[in-house]
Amino acid sequence: MWVRWLAVLAVLALAAQARAQAEPLGPLTADTSGFGQPLPAVAHNRAERALFVAGQRLFATPLSIPLLGPLFNNRTCVACHFQPTMGGSGEFISEIHTRADTTGLPVHTFAVDNVLRAGPQTQADATVFEHGLAAVPLGCEISDPNCVLSPCQQQEAMLKHFSTGLPICDPSSASFAAGDNCTAQRQSTNLFGLGLVEAIDNNTLIALANSQPPAIRGTPRMLIEFGALRVARFGWKDDSATLRLFAALALANEMGLTTPDLPEENTTCADGVMQFGVLLDGGHEPEDTPDASGRAMVDRVVDFMRALEPPPQLAEDAQARRGDRLFSAIGCAGCHVPTLRTAANPSAFIPPTTGGVALSAALNRALAAQTFHPFSDFLLHDMGSLGDGITSGTAGPTMMRTSPLWGVRAKVRFLHDGRTDNLATVIRLHDGQGRDSARRFDALSPADRAASAT
């Protein structure tokens, strides 16, 4: 029943009790088989399964110039969401933000005019990218100190106040208090089970916040999306409430594809510009439009994500039961809420596709009134020095969404910036509203252990 990493917590607690100087706990290497499957109801429904597979294919299909860019971070969704399989998290920093950029959007690492700086490129005899766009090397990165910035990249650096010399944001530092600019690095998150998260009623999340003790009470981030006031739940800073909008944001900001929901490019730097005979950007927006079935690429990647099953749970053993009790006893479960339930009728608030196709009755049934175990409240918390220093709407510099811990066993690095692969370190870095709980973890004594184990 319970996820295996709770057993790890029990092991960690033992290590803490033994006053071990350093816990030798590296990345979790537990069983990761079964990740990335469709919900069983989707697997057994021919039409739904076809949509899942079509979406999965587009999730992994590289964009080409002129659809790609002009500013972008990568060419496919899967490039950043692959660990341990398609739809997972990443193994590296895939996004940079700067404090002085008030849009809250990432600095784009690549620009098409830079990718083509050396002319159309091939690998061996093969053209590896339509129109000769490079595969390896993929242009130079704005974040590389040796990169000779292209015109688009220069504009990006100016707009985002980015330079390679900026320090990493520490919201508890004197430099931060003085208002200095800084950067925050971000890891991607895994997308398993997000259809269930989208299907949680707003009032469930609001009631959850109201039920939390004041010392750890979460803040629901309210957003108007698709004409309705909603509680945000996606992204490190709760940047969106619907998969449709998050997918549109990902297409716009990570890949530079404009969609019916976000039809503006981030820049016009490449509009109508030819380089080495290649048109960098056509300037016809949106680039992505619904097909005859009412689905654009943005809708299809949502079909895939919405139908992804949560990470499979491992069988409960004695260690896991013990870890679970400790998890509650020291207050982790206050924010990393083990169990949530979806709305009775998610189709009442889940938006249709960009072409106006409503959530199907079959998927609505699969997502309705489901009890699931994300180990998150999806609310923002003031995490003090663990905050990323970035302001995104009402999510201030120290505010972060409680990371869902389902599937954490498949991650190789933890926290928003992937700064550690050690779980004990992760817990100790919990500051602000998470500090008491982290201290209780450190203070676990044999007596506490006996108490929490009974």
Q: Which residues are near ligand HEC by CB under 6 A?
A: 9, 73-74, 77, 79-81, 94-95, 186-189, 191, 194, 216, 234-236, 239, 243, 246-247, 250-251, 254-255, 301, 305, 330-332, 334-336, 381, 383, 386, 400, 402-403, 405, 408, 411, 414-416, 423, 426-427, 430, 433-434, 437-438, 441
Instruction: Please say which residue, 115 or 273, places its beta carbon nearer to ligand HEC.
Output: 115
Tokens 């039961």 — which residue? 321
State the Cα–Cα distance between residues 274 and 267, nearest whole angstrom: 16
Cβ 314 to ligand HEC, closest distance in Å? 16
Of 56, 50, 91, whose CA–CA distance to 76 is shortest?
56
Contact 97, 236 (CB under 8 A): no
Cβ 401 to ligand HEC, closest distance in Å? 6
Instruction: Please say which residue, 45 or 188, places its beta carbon nearer to ligand HEC.
Output: 188
Instruction: Please say which residue, 48 or 198, places its beta carbon nearer to ligand HEC.
Output: 198
Cβ 359 to ligand HEC, closest distance in Å? 17
Q: With b meaning 16 or more CB within 10 Å and e meaning fewer, what string describes 272-293?
A: ebebeebbbbeeebbbbebeee
| Alpha-carbon dihedral sign for residues 56, 190, 307, 264 | negative
Cβ 184 to ligand HEC, closest distance in Å? 9
State the Cα–Cα distance between residues 337 and 324, nearest whole angstrom: 12
Within 10 Å of residue 254's Cβ, how many Cβ atoms?
24
Q: With b meaning 16 or more CB within 10 Å and e meaning fewer, what string describes 98-117?
A: bbebeeebbbbbbbbbbbbb
Cβ 274 to ligand HEC, closest distance in Å? 26
Instruction: Please say which residue, 273 or 424, places its beta carbon nearer to ligand HEC.
Output: 424
Instruction: Please say which residue, 71 or 330, places its beta carbon nearer to ligand HEC.
Output: 330
Instruction: Please say which residue, 140 or 250, places its beta carbon nearer to ligand HEC.
Output: 250
Backbone angles phi, psi at 209, to 5 degrees: -60, -45
Of 25, 21, 29, whose CA–CA distance to 10 is shortest?
25
State the Cα–Cα distance between residues 188 and 416, nearest whole angstrom: 8
Cβ 381 to ligand HEC, closest distance in Å? 4
Contact 242, 351 (CB under 8 A): yes
Cβ 125 to ligand HEC, closest distance in Å? 29
Cβ 277 to ligand HEC, closest distance in Å? 27
Cβ 272 to ligand HEC, closest distance in Å? 25
Q: Residue 323 carries which side chain, given as an amino acid letter?
A: G
Instruction: Please say which residue, 188 or 354, places its beta carbon nearer to ligand HEC.
Output: 188
Of 367, 29, 81, whose CA–CA distance to 250 is shortest?
81
Instruction: Please say which residue, 273 or 395, places its beta carbon nearer to ligand HEC.
Output: 395
10, 50, 304, 372 from 334: Cα distances, Å:
18, 39, 31, 16
Instruction: Please say which residue, 347 or 402, places its beta carbon nearer to ligand HEC.
Output: 402
